[in-house]
Amino acid sequence: MPQFLDHADPDFETRFTALLTAKREDSPDVDATVADIIADVRARGDAAVIALTQKFDRITLTPDTLRISADEVAQAIEEVSAEDRAALELAADRIRAYHARQMPEDAQWTDAAGATLGWRWTPVSAAGLYVPGGLASYPSSVLMNAIPAKVAGVGRLAITVPTPDGVINPLVLLAAQLAGVDEIYRIGGAQAVAALAYGTDTIAPVDKITGPGNAFVAAAKRRVFGKVGIDMIAGPSEILVIADGDNDPDWIALDLLSQAEHDESAQSLLITTDADFGRAVADAVNTRLETLERRAIAGASWRDFGAILTVPDLDTAVALSDRIAPEHLELCVADPVALSDKITHAGAIFLGQWTPEAIGDYIGGPNHVLPTARSARFSSGLSVMDFVKRTTLAQMTPDALRAIGPGAARLAASESLEAHGLSVTARLRKLNG
């Protein structure tokens, strides 16, 4: 059974704080192993990657077969049904249309002092996308990571996807093709991250690595950070539904379960102004858990981390929501837009009862890679911005330097940085004769 919390209860604050700070995931400490793997790949390149792939994925590769060839891709994609292809194409088109609007604009202006200032955005030259193998090999994740990179203008986009025992998901290959991925390597784990970061004879290094993965992949990304850029290290998924009593309990139950079925560490929370509705949702969850395919996982998540919170009004719900800073926030209330305007911290908001969170996982358009573990307080979901970088620009004229140069020289003197000041005053001396 999940927890029931009533805002009116005297122990509410204590229990809510406990809910907020509950440690849901015990990451195994694999850092030493990962350090060894990275060192091995740096030292031996392809040979290390091939040996580690033999060991972990039980397949024998050569430098020539590290990469999945265009023929193999074409052949695998033939297996995809027309319906699956149409759905992936629709998703790719919608994700591309959404992210195309995120391209930031260059700027340039000349100010009153005569200084021309501005900035310019350029794409990362090469990016690598880690795609998990096995159960968590989600074609939707390929679209969500690869499309923003290509919209940003990344010239070279490589994917690594492990193929344990040689098994590969044709939908992952189709998603990569639809997204415009340039290279696909059948490798995984820390060795794949190391190969992308440092390069081998066969795999050219990239500048940025994104994508989800297990503890080894996460530890490897942390270790190569600095050598390359990385995206966030995602924690287990979360959903918060704020609902009034005027909802179908089964719909809300399914929304909660669609996070719970991801992972035993996932967290599904309901805040409602209607205690009876809250109980009805709990009942609906239990009914669905009787038959759900992933009931073992979803049941454990719901039992250990699920909660239903009753509040006196929606303003209280907003205040609690901002403390939770949820990855996904569903607003199933009469006026969801008005309520969303009051929310400050959330990765993604789904407005109204016709917008189940699963729409956002696949096909809505916004990215499904979102900040977890309360990090929506300070970070954002994956976007085109993760694949571009800004160069600032400044150009002084003699007049501009005359106008603001003395101030710079003064500040340099106050910081005892003489050469800084001299680099300005030497020029001013020329200007002033």
Site for a copy of itself in 153-182 (CB under 8 A): 171
Q: Which residues lie below 8 Å from residue 19, measured CB to CB, with a gap of 6+? A: 3, 5, 269, 307
- Which position among 288, 303, 304, 316 is part of the footprint of a copy of itself (CB under 8 A)? 288
241 near 332, Cβ under 8 Å? yes
Q: Which of 134, 199, 229, 245 binds a copy of itself (CB under 8 A)?
A: 229
* 214 annotated ligand-binding residue: yes
For the segment 374-403, give every residue that binds a copy of itself (CB under 8 A): 375-381, 383, 385, 389-398, 400-401
Q: Residue 313: what residue type?
A: D
Enumerate residues 104-133 that contact a copy of itself by CB under 8 A: 104, 107, 109, 111, 113, 115-117, 119, 122, 124-125
Cβ at position 165, least distance to a copy of itself in Å: 18
| Catalytic hit among 183, 238, 261, 327 | 327
User: Do the annotations mark residue 420 as ligand-binding?
Assistant: yes
Return the number of other C-beta atoms located less than 10 Å from residue 302's C-beta: 28
Whose Cβ is closer to a copy of itself: residue 61's or residue 363's?
Answer: 363
Q: How far apart are CA 240 and CA 309, in angstroms?
A: 10
One residue of 1, 20, 70, 90 binding a copy of itself per CB under 8 A? 90
- Note if 293 is an active site residue: no
Interface with a copy of itself by CB under 8 A: which range of 8-16, 156-164, 221-229, 269-277? 221-229
CA dist., res. 267 & res. 259, Å (int): 7
Q: Is 7 considered catalytic here?
A: no
Q: Which two tokens stand for residue 199?
A: 């390069």
Q: Are strands 348-351 and 328-332 parallel, antiparallel or unpaired?
A: parallel
Query: Does 198 engage in binding with a copy of itself (CB under 8 A)?
Result: no
Distance CA 116, CA 109 (A): 6
Least separation, in Å, of the C-beta of 65 and a copy of itself?
A: 27
SS3 category, 128: strand
Q: Which parts of 50-186 are beta strand (E)?
A: 107-110, 116-123, 126-130, 156-160, 183-185
- The answer to the question of residue 299 lying near a copy of itself (CB under 8 A) is no
- Do the beta carbons of residue 339 and residue 349 sit within 8 Å? no
Half-sphere exposure of 122 (CA within 13 A, CB side): 8
Residue 361 labelled as part of a binding site: yes
Judged by CB, which is closer to a copy of itself: 162, or 326? 326
Residues 17-46 that bind a copy of itself (CB under 8 A): none
Q: Does 83 bind a copy of itself (CB under 8 A)?
A: yes
B/e letters for 156-178, b = 16+ CB within 10 Å, e = fewer, are bbbbbbbbbeeebbbbbbbbbbb
Are the CB atoms for 153 and 125 separated by under 8 Å?
no
Interacting residue with a copy of itself among 177, 191, 200, 353 (CB under 8 A):
353
- Identify the residue among 96, 128, 367, 384 touching a copy of itself (CB under 8 A): 367
Number of residues that bind a copy of itself (CB under 8 A): 123
Restricting to residues 302-341, which ones interact with a copy of itself according to CB under 8 A?
336-337, 340
What does the block give as tokens for 359? 């729409």
The CB-of-246 to a copy of itself minimum distance in angstroms stands at 14
Active-site choice (264, 328, 357, 368): 328
Q: Using CB under 8 A, which residues numbered 236 to 275 contact a copy of itself?
A: 248, 250-251, 254-255, 257-258, 260-262
DSSP for 132-170, written as a single string: --GGG--HHHHHHHHHHHHHHT-SEEEEE---GGG---H
CA distance 351 to 394: 43
In whole angstroms, give the CA distance from residue 300 to residue 284: 16
Q: Is 198 annotated as a binding residue?
A: no
The stretch among 64-72, 92-100, 179-187, 310-318 that binds a copy of itself (CB under 8 A) is 92-100
Annotated binding site for NAD(+): 130, 191, 214
Annotated binding site for Zn(2+): 259, 262, 361, 420
Catalytic residues: 327-328
